[in-house]
Amino acid sequence: QSALTQPASVSGSPGQSITISCTGTNSDVGNFNLVSWYQHHPGKAPQLIIYEGTKRPSGVSNRFSGSKSGSTASLTISGLKAEDEADYYCCSFAGSNTWVFGGGTKLTVL
């Protein structure tokens, strides 16, 4: 069970859109539609922003959207705001009731 692969960092200007990728294998991302995404401001509790690949929990802005192609899941944030600056993590079901996280991506809003 290896960690999912995410870019270490991405950046964008306010109002722009950015996409964060999350690459796994046929044992996790590629085999299940059970990818979730979390926003983490350091020192605070992580927050669920996407579940089951594309769904948003109640209260999460529709500026956040998720997708998947093959073994790569993606998180897109549109209309970037300063408050979106945070670390983002993906997580996937990996079979046999086990889960694997990505290494995290630091988003900088320029």
Partner 1 sequence: QLQLQESGPGLVKPSETLSLTCTVSGGSISSNSYYWGCIRQPPGKGLEWIGIVYYSGNTYYNPSLKSRVTISVDTSKNQFSLKLSSVTAADTAVYYCARQKRAYDAFDIWGHGTMVTVS
Q: Does 9 bind partner 1 (CB under 8 A)?
A: no
Q: Which of 105, 87, 86, 108 is nearest to 20 (CA)?
A: 105
Cα distance between residue 3 and residue 18, in whole Å? 22
Q: Does 20 bind partner 1 (CB under 8 A)?
A: no
Q: Does 79 bind partner 1 (CB under 8 A)?
A: no
Q: Does 48 bind partner 1 (CB under 8 A)?
A: yes
Q: CB neighbours of 79 closer than 8 A, spacing ≥ 6? A: 15, 17, 63
- Residue from 23, 25, 27, 51 binding partner 1 (CB under 8 A): 51
**Residues at the site binding partner 1, with contacts judged by CB under 8 A:** 1, 3, 6, 34, 36, 38, 43-48, 51-52, 55, 57, 89, 91, 93, 96-104
